[in-house]
Structure 1
Amino acid sequence: MTHIFAHRGSAGTHPENTMLAFKEAARVKADGIELDVRLTKDGEVVILHDDKVDRTTDGTGFVKDLTTKELKTLNAGAKFKDGKFRAEIPLLKEFLEWFKTTELVCNIEFKTRSLKNFELVRKTIAFIRDMKLEERIIFSSFNHFAIVYAYRVAPEIETAPLYSEGLFNPWIYAKAIRAKAIHPNFRSCPKELILKTQEHGIKVRPYTVNEKNEWLRLFKCKVDALITDFPEKARTFRDELKR
């Protein structure tokens, strides 16, 4: 069965990367949650997609230039649906305290461009190990140096490269970097590539899939999971197909 991963939580219905969105994903029985992490000025691991807070909050500035205390004063729901939601920017450790009470899987995407500074990766791994959540976590990133580093430090945690353009024989690449899955843009994974990749023991989880025609195509291809902003709609559609 194809699993449903809630992109930044239920980002189509609630402010992205907030506890409101994550709890909504759990409520609608998504199989997993996808979220993004980066470092604050004072070295905390915070859940936020962009390098700046401008798009999603009522604040301005780069995350790396703001302290945790400063970030906590912002409303992460300010720009969503006319600001009818009020939500804090969560720290990863706050999310994990809640997450460990669920049965969900979590895909953590590293938001870092560095090819040699992996403080974000090390701190994230430390939190996960402290809470003994290794078996329920997947690390992904467009920065493949980060996930290779993660594998070397924590080989027990699954890794998956994110990419937006087509890769030649992605199963070969995945195995070369010890990844157990690929997370391609849904436009970069035709049926033949999906099946061939799975034949080689590599899971396929396309992102960000929000249209019914693409849900249908990917369900028929039996991808291992799809990442969507609308987990409730995708799950309902999947259930209807099984009838």
Structure 2
Amino acid sequence: MAHIFAHRGSAGTHPENTMVSFMEAERVQADGIELDVQLAKDGVVVVIHDETVNRTTDGTGWVGQMTYRQLRKLNANYEFKQYGFCPIPSLQEVLEWVQGNSLLINIELKNNLVPYERLEEKTIELVERYRLASRVIFSSFNHESMATCRTLAPHIETALLYMEKLHQPWNYAHTLRALALHPYHPTVDRSFVEAAHANDLLVRPFTINKEERMKTMFQYKVNGIFTDFPEKAKHIREKTLRSL
């Protein structure tokens, strides 16, 4: 059965990459959460998508040029003002919280534009500290980074994120020892999913918010989807599985 990952938490209804958004994903019984990590100036692994704080908070500036304390003062409630003050979480805060549930955690390393030094090491160290290796998937558009993660922690799953249609990406994935492909959903069709599975790779397309497209992906028997609306996705998955 396809896992439903709440993309940046329940980002369609709650402020993305905040604890309130992750808690909503748990409440609606998503199978997992997806979050993005970067490094603050003082080396703290923080959970935020953009390389700057401009879009999702009431501040401005580059994440990597602000300390964790400075970042914590910003309100990341984005378009959802009704949730009041929502600080930027540290990865440590999220991993402490997931100790109390069984959610899978897809950690996307956002180091494809800003080359954060030792982001891989610091992220792995936290995952190991909380003994979550079996529940974690590392993903990134920076495939070099995924190769590094695989070398440093061969027991933690890595997945390759990409936007364009690729020719036989399973061959490439095998050279990087990745276990999963996370393609942009318009590039995915049934024959692609079947070929990836035949080559022992998991397929989890992103980011799927429309009902029809969710239904199609479940019919293709993908291994998971990323969505901003996990509650809706759960209903559609149940409905689709009943009709198969």
TM-score after normalising by structure 1: 0.96
2:179 maps to what in 1?
180
The one-letter code sitting in structure 1 at the alignment partner of 2:41 is K
Task: Please list, as runs of the form range in 1=range in 2, the aligned pairs for 1:105-120 lying within 5 A after superposition.
Answer: 105-113=104-112, 118-120=117-119
1:42 maps to what in 2?
42
The one-letter code sitting in structure 2 at the alignment partner of 1:66 is M
> Given that residues 38 and 111 in structure 1 are in contact (C-alpha distance below 8 angstroms), is that contact kept between their aligned partners in structure 2?
yes
1:18 maps to what in 2?
18
Shift of 1:200: 1.2
2:95 maps to what in 1?
96
Moved more, 106-115 or 148-157: 106-115
Shift of 1:115: 9.4
2:202 maps to what in 1?
203
Counterparts of 1:242 and 1:92, CA distance in 2:
34
Which deviations, in whole Å up to 9, do the C-alpha atoms of 1:163-222 show, x marking residues without a partner? 000111011111111000000000111111111101111000000001111111100001
Counterparts of 1:118 and 1:204, CA distance in 2:
29
2:137 maps to what in 1?
138
Task: Please list, as runs of the form range in 1=range in 2, the aligned pairs for 1:145-224 lying within 5 A after superposition.
Answer: 145-224=144-223
Which deviations, in whole Å up to 9, do the C-alpha atoms of 1:84-126 show, x marking residues without a partner? 2221100000000001211011100001137976411100000
Instruction: Please identify runs of 4+ aligned residues in structure 1 that moved more than 3 A.
Output: 114-118
Counterparts of 1:57 and 1:47, CA distance in 2:
13
Residue 118 to residue 178, structure 1, CA distance change in 2 (3 Å): farther
Shift of 1:242: 3.1
Counterparts of 2:155 and 2:15, CA distance in 1:
32
2:3 maps to what in 1?
3
How many residue pairs align between the two structures? 241
Residue 117 to residue 27, structure 1, CA distance change in 2 (3 Å): closer
> Given that residues 115 and 145 in structure 1 are in contact (C-alpha distance below 8 angstroms), is that contact kept between their aligned partners in structure 2?
no
The one-letter code sitting in structure 1 at the alignment partner of 2:53 is V
SS in 1 for 2:193: helix
TM-score after normalising by structure 2: 0.96
Moved more, 108-117 or 120-129: 108-117
Which deviations, in whole Å up to 9, do the C-alpha atoms of 1:26-58 show, x marking residues without a partner? 110100110000000111000000000010110
Q: Percent identity?
A: 47
Structure 1 stretches of 5 or more lacking a match?
none
Moved more, 83-92 or 10-19: 83-92
Moved more, 233-242 or 120-129: 233-242
Counterparts of 1:173 and 1:115, CA distance in 2:
24
Counterparts of 2:99 and 2:89, CA distance in 1:
15
Residue 50 to residue 185, structure 1, CA distance change in 2 (3 Å): same
> Given that residues 118 and 146 in structure 1 are in contact (C-alpha distance below 8 angstroms), is that contact kept between their aligned partners in structure 2?
no
> Given that residues 39 and 46 in structure 2 are in contact (C-alpha distance below 8 angstroms), is that contact kept between their aligned partners in structure 1?
yes
The one-letter code sitting in structure 1 at the alignment partner of 2:159 is A
RMSD in angstroms over aligned alpha carbons? Answer: 1.3
Counterparts of 1:192 and 1:60, CA distance in 2:
44
Counterparts of 2:210 and 2:103, CA distance in 1:
23
Counterparts of 1:29 and 1:232, CA distance in 2:
8
2:33 maps to what in 1?
33
The one-letter code sitting in structure 1 at the alignment partner of 2:207 is T
Counterparts of 2:155 and 2:113, CA distance in 1:
23
Counterparts of 1:170 and 1:29, CA distance in 2:
32
Structure 2 stretches of 5 or more lacking a match?
none
